[in-house]
Amino acid sequence: MVERLLEENNHNQEENSTEYALTPEEEQKLISLAETIIKNWEVTVNSVEVIQGGQMAIVWKIHTIEGPICLKRIHRPEKKALFSINAQNYLALKGMRVPGIIPNKNGILYTKHGPFLFVVYEWIEGRPFELTVQEDLEFIMKGLAEFHTASIGYRPPEGVPIFTKLGRWPNHYIKRCQQMETWKLLAKSLPDDPFSKLYLAEADFFIKEGRDTLKRLLESEYLDWVGTVKGMPNLCHQDYGTGNSLLGDDGQIWVIDLDTVSFDLPIRDLRKMIIPLLDTTGVWNDDQFNVMINAYESVSPLTEKQKEIMFIDMLFPYELYDVIRERYVRKSPLMENELAEAFEYERIKSGALNQLIK
Q: Name the domain boundary from 77, 100, 123.
A: 123
- CATH number, domain of 270, equals 3.90.1200.10
Long-range contacts of 60-63 (CB under 8 A, 24+ apart): 60/30, 60/31, 60/34, 61/123, 62/34, 62/38, 62/120
Residues in CB range of 138: below 8 A, 6 or more apart? 291, 295
Return the H-helix or E-strand segment holding 325: helix 318-328
Are 39 and 112 in a shared domain?
A: yes
112 and 143 share one domain: no
CATH number where 58 lies: 3.30.200.20
Neighbouring C-beta atoms of residue 32, cutoff 10 Å: 11
Residue 171, domain member (yes or no): yes
Dihedral sign, CA of 287, 271, 278, 208?
positive
Per-residue pLDDT, 53: 84
Does 142 lie in the same domain as 70? Answer: no
| Alpha carbons 23 and 29: distance in angstroms, whole number | 10
Q: CA–CA separation, 288 vs 299, rounded Å?
A: 18
pLDDT value of position 4: 34
* Residue 116 lies in domain: 2-123
Task: Point out the domain boundary residue: 96, 123, 150.
Answer: 123
The residue type found at 298 is S
Domain shared by 246 and 318, yes or no? yes
**Total domain count, the chain:** 2
Q: Round to whole Å and give the CA distance between 2 and 149.
A: 31
Residues 220 and 303 in one domain: yes
Residues 174 and 265 in one domain: yes
Same domain? 157 vs 177:
yes
DSSP for 35-56, please give it: HHHGGGSS--EEEEEEEE-SSS
Residues 78 and 147 in one domain: no
My answer on whether 115 and 262 are in the same domain is no
- Domain identity same for 113 and 157: no
Residue 250: its pLDDT value, please?
Answer: 82
**What's the confidence (pLDDT) of residue 56?**
67
Mean pLDDT by 10-residue block, N- to C-terminus, for the chain (358 residues)? 34 40 89 97 96 83 97 94 98 97 98 96 95 94 97 97 97 98 97 96 97 98 97 96 90 94 98 89 87 98 98 96 96 95 94 92
- Edge-to-edge, what's the strand order for the sheet holding 253-255? 126-127, 245-248, 253-255
